[in-house]
């Protein structure tokens, strides 16, 4: 089994915004098939990869979800001057100006530009940057030159390499949510004795379509969402807005803007972490959301838990996580499966 960092690097180097997750899915399927002949897997019509790990011990039906897609852009229009207009997928235009990107299947290099400062009027200078005022420059001088290498509908990802820096810190695009995929892959290749269904989902950043369909298809009794979540330990953040911080362990949420999580599962996670002396934290505020919103209410519904790795600068082209939080998330996840199955 690959080390956590090696697996995270391999996954983050794959391009895969919502609707374009095939590279990520193929890599995950290949790694799992090579690591265990016992796993059964299938791809559903929405592109979700559903993996069943057989088990000998009886227990509740546990289904774990980790989304494969990352934030990015979709080309919408080619200008006469060869620039690419785009639609953002799960990302704020404020973090886009000046970012290097890769466009389309061929990974055409480009940079996101905006009107130069001295051409802005006073109202534009004071206004928040919007995607309508941005365009991707791929070095083309005309629409025809651009159309020779890219087309409307092409996926755009950030050109940000994976790297390790500082004391055990990880920097990359797509940590959201390739770190959740790392956790689910390693769990499926572990010697855990309980049957587990793992779903590597599509379309989380564009509306939860994959998780919604997969939850209906798999009918979990207990759902576990493996995710990343926003850490606010950045310069200038007031104490009540830090929410969670790197290096303090995985995050078990009590609520977000889409879900009130099961109180019993929330307590079980903290009790398990305390017993095993695993650092753990909650998200001290009700913000954001994830696939739990769709999963918990699908079909007959399921008790739902979210286990997340804290990340700085989430939903941008460069995100930062601490390796020790990923390691402790894995420790807690492995420790929780038995108690969850026994409920």
Instruction: Give the pairing type, strands 251-252 and 303-311.
Output: antiparallel
Q: Are 8 and 184 in contact (CB under 8 A)?
A: no
Q: Are 338 and 194 in contact (CB under 8 A)?
A: yes
| Catalytic-labelled residue, pool 31, 160, 204, 205 | 204
180: its two tokens = 């959740």
Q: What are the CB-based long-range contacts (under 8 Å, 24+) for 48-51?
A: 48/199, 48/200, 48/201, 48/202, 48/210, 48/213, 48/214, 49/25, 49/199, 49/200, 50/197, 50/198, 50/199, 50/214, 50/217, 50/218, 51/188, 51/197, 51/198, 51/199, 51/200
Angstrom distance (rounded) from CA 282 to CA 43: 33
Residue with tokens 């997969």: 214
Residue with tokens 């989304």: 67
Told to judge if 204 belongs to the known catalytic residues of this protein, a careful annotator would answer: yes
219: its two tokens = 């009918």
Instruction: Give the pairing type, strands 194-201 and 222-230.
Output: unpaired
Q: What is the set of active-site residues?
A: 204
């Amino acid at each position: 089994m690959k080390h956590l960092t090696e697996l995270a690097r391999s996954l983050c180097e794959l391009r895969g915004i919502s609707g374009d997750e095939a590279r990520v899915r193929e890599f995950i399927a290949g790694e799992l098939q090579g690591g265990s002949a016992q796993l059964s897997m299938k791809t559903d019509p929405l592109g979700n990869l559903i993996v069943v790990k057989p088990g000998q011990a009886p227990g509740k039906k546990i289904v774990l979800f980790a989304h494969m897609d990352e934030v990015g852009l979709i080309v919408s229009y080619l200008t006469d001057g060869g620039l690419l207009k785009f639609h953002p997928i799960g990302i704020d235009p404020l973090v886009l100006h000046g970012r290097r990107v890769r466009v389309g299947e061929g990974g055409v290099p480009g940079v996101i530009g905006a009107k130069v400062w001295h051409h802005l009027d006073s109202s534009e200078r004071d206004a928040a940057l919007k995607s309508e005022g941005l365009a991707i420059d791929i070095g083309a001088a005309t629409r025809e030159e651009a159309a020779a290498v890219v087309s409307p509908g092409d996926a755009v990802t950030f050109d940000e390499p994976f790297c390790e820096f500082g004391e055990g810190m990880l920097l990359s695009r797509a940590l959201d949510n390739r770190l959740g995929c790392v956790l689910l892959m390693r769990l499926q290749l572990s010697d855990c004795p309980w049957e587990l269904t793992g779903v590597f989902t599509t379309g989380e950043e564009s509306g939860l379509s994959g998780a919604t369909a997969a939850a209906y298809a798999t009918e979990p009794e207990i759902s576990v969402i493996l995710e990343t979540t926003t850490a606010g330990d950045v310069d200038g953040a007031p104490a009540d807005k830090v929410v969670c911080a790197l290096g303090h362990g995985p995050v078990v949420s009590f609520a977000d803007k889409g879900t009130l999580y099961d109180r019993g599962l929330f307590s079980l996670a903290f009790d398990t972490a305390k017993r095993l002396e695993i650092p753990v934290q909650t998200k001290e505020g009700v913000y954001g959301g994830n696939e739990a919103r769709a999963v918990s209410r699908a079909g007959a519904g399921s008790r739902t838990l979210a286990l997340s790795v804290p990340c700085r600068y989430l939903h941008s082209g460069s995100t930062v996580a601490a390796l020790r939080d990923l390691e402790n998330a894995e420790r807690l996840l492995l420790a929780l499966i038995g108690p969850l199955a026994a409920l």
